[in-house]
Amino acid sequence: MSLEETERIFTCAWCRVKLCLGHRGPLECVIPPPASPGGQILYVPYWRLKGMAFSCLSRGTIEAGAVDLSHLAIAAPFLPWSLGIQPQLASLRLLSPSIAGSFLAPSVTIEQALAGYEANMKQLGVSPWAAPARHRAWIGEQVSLLYYPLTRRDGHLADALQDRPLAPAGRWESAALAVHKPESRVRFFAAACPECGWDLEGDRDTLVLTCRNCERAWKRGEEGLEDIDVYVLPDASKEEQVGLPFWRIRVSVTGIPLDSFADYARFCNLPRAVTGAMEGAPFHFWVPAFKAHAELYLRLIRRMTLFQWQGEFERRLGSLRCHPVTLPANEGVESLKTALAELAADKRSVLPKLGEIGIAMKEAILVYVPFRARGGELIQPQIPLGIQRKALQYGLNI
């Protein structure tokens, strides 16, 4: 069975049973060497991170985009610090104890790897890493550990895929890098509703699966399925609808007043009079629970948060087609400081204070917002808001 690195839900080709993949810690994968590389095979660990990167630059602008980066996970300066685009081109295999070769133990944390990546990109003069920033955030990152194959032969250490010498074997031995035996951290469990046994619905990398029989939703965890409450924004339309998932997040903010919708209106300098009802209305951020192009992601936060639904929610999914949930609530909270910088009416005064602003999540609920399907576009007339279907498909590849 062959699985993509991001594939967490699949159907077994042999028994036709739908399964979920769970794992403790980061997913560990191997880039297979050629059939007959010759010599002793050594696997070097690299951290890989896929997601969205946001940079609030000192000059008052926000730069953002999708990233797929890698960085060496051991202290070995004679090895390439990055794998470049090779992880995107190679066929990856899940790490298994049956794979022959010696595996080097990672000694660099993912935080150290990210700091090293930023430093190297800054040294190369690559934007936006070369520009001074008030705040940087990694959102929706999928962190994995990749083992890259090297071969040791004829007194040299060589790249097993490109057959290129890297360093003398003596230099490798003097580094005294630790070797460890890989252990499979992957387990599989049935994608069946724990409540009624019905087959659950969900895309291959969704975090939340739904049961159409008992109208329950289940969050995919490391060890199994966990119950999660979901809500639906009311819409009486009989048209075909797609439910886009959003986190409605209640936060505690320090550094600026942001407890009520009135505080939000003043912060954004909205062209509306602040009323007593706004002063007493609790404020919630509405953050996409799915990945999207960075500009669209921030625009959705702005529009949905400004909409600030105060009515009741429904609990039945009905015939709503649910878009995959690919962004957990805690990742959404990490994007809020960037969202505040983008929302601020006076960015020049807000950006220098970003370091003083603290944001902590108090409550988060998952809400599906119905969008009506109109050709290549999805429309939400109550807000109003339109999204291109292609933009959603792009987000599934981040």
**Measured distance CA(92)–CA(28) in Å, rounded:** 10
Predicted structure pTM score: 0.88
**Measured distance CA(2)–CA(391) in Å, rounded:** 27
Three-state DSSP at 40 gives strand
What is the rounded end-to-end Cα distance, in angstroms, of the chain? 23
> What per-residue confidence (pLDDT) applies to 335?
93
Whether 62 and 338 have beta carbons less than 8 Å apart is answered as yes
Cis check: omega of the bond before 282, within 30 degrees of 0: no
**Burial class of residue 174 (count of CB atoms within 10 Å of its CB; 0-12, 13-18, 19+):** exposed
Q: Which residue matches tokens 């912060």?
A: 267
Q: How far is CA 128 from CA 56, 106, 122, 133, 253, in A?
A: 9, 28, 8, 9, 27
SS3 content of the chain, % helix, strand, coil (to 5): 20, 40, 40
Q: Where are the alpha helices (DSSP H) in the chain?
A: 86-89, 110-124, 169-175, 261-268, 276-280, 294-307, 329-334, 336-343, 347-350, 389-395
Lookup: tokens for 151: 């071969």
**Measured distance CA(71)–CA(116) in Å, rounded:** 8
Residue 50 φ/ψ region, left for φ over 0, alpha for ψ in the -120 to 50 degree band, beta for the rest: beta
> What per-residue confidence (pLDDT) applies to 61?
82
> What per-residue confidence (pLDDT) applies to 127?
77
**Measured distance CA(93)–CA(84) in Å, rounded:** 18
How do the domains of the chain map onto residue ranges?
1-21+188-214, 25-184, 229-395
Lookup: tokens for 235: 């819409």
Lookup: tokens for 208: 């939340």
Task: Encode the chain (398 residues) as per-residue pLDDT tens digits.
Answer: 445 555 678 777 777 788 888 877 888 899 988 877 667 888 999 999 998 999 888 877 888 888 899 999 998 888 999 999 999 888 888 888 788 888 988 999 999 999 999 999 999 988 778 888 888 888 887 899 999 999 887 778 888 888 888 888 777 666 657 777 777 777 888 899 999 999 999 888 899 999 999 989 999 887 789 999 999 999 888 888 999 999 999 999 999 889 898 998 888 888 888 888 889 888 999 999 999 988 899 999 999 998 989 889 999 888 899 999 999 999 999 999 999 988 888 777 788 888 899 999 999 999 999 999 988 999 999 999 999 999 999 888 87
Q: Which of 228, 220, 199 is nearest to 211 (CA)?
A: 199
Residue 366 φ/ψ region, left for φ over 0, alpha for ψ in the -120 to 50 degree band, beta for the rest: beta
**Measured distance CA(190)–CA(215) in Å, rounded:** 18
Bridge partners of residue 103, in order along the sequence: 43, 180
